[in-house]
Structure 1
């Protein structure tokens, strides 16, 4: 599949997406992958629906945030701290906390919560 702005066939798109899914899946058995990905997709969709309904309620109420949060305006209730974007913030937060712990540690330690041992600024180390 070319990366220019030319037309991409349905088959090329399917092959590209399947390759990306295989890369993301890693060592997880394809049969078990659905047990991971479907709940995540459902969770993401609930958050998206909540956001859509929130925006609609804001328009209806001329920007009244309290009104937009009323349960009556939503098919799903998303508790504070449980939205998709809240969960997406957890890995950077954990990495930051790990860095702080390493800095306070007396022993040399190297920690990374990412797939590789490198971050934007290099490996996480303590002295």
Structure 2
């Protein structure tokens, strides 16, 4: 596996709910309940950007095959660049 792709494993709605609930429990007592939304919205945004970038990378991989140099050159010219890792 190269360092640009992250394998997407199927995640159930129950797992998502559990992870979010545990994240909220972590902040309980240290952060006001009205502030939860700020942290959750950021996490959801990062997840969305990551998913969109992965889909875009996969489409470039379909277009250019295994030519990683060409894919990287194309990605460097994008409006939004997601750093590796």
Q: Which structure would you say has the larger RCO, counting Cα contacts within 8 Å and 6 or more residues apart?
A: 2
- Name the TM-score, length of structure 1 as normaliser: 0.40
Unaligned 5+ segments in structure 1 are 1-12, 87-127
Written as runs of structure 1 = structure 2, the 5 A alignment for 1:1-127 is: 17=18, 19-20=21-22, 22-27=24-29, 28-69=31-72, 70-71=74-75, 76-78=80-82, 80-81=83-84, 86=85
Structure having the higher helix fraction is 2
TM-score when normalising by structure 2: 0.55
Whether the 8 Å contact between 1:71 and 1:77 is mirrored in structure 2 is yes
Give the length in aligned residue pairs: 67
Q: Which has the larger radius of gyration?
A: 1
CA RMSD of aligned residues (A): 3.0
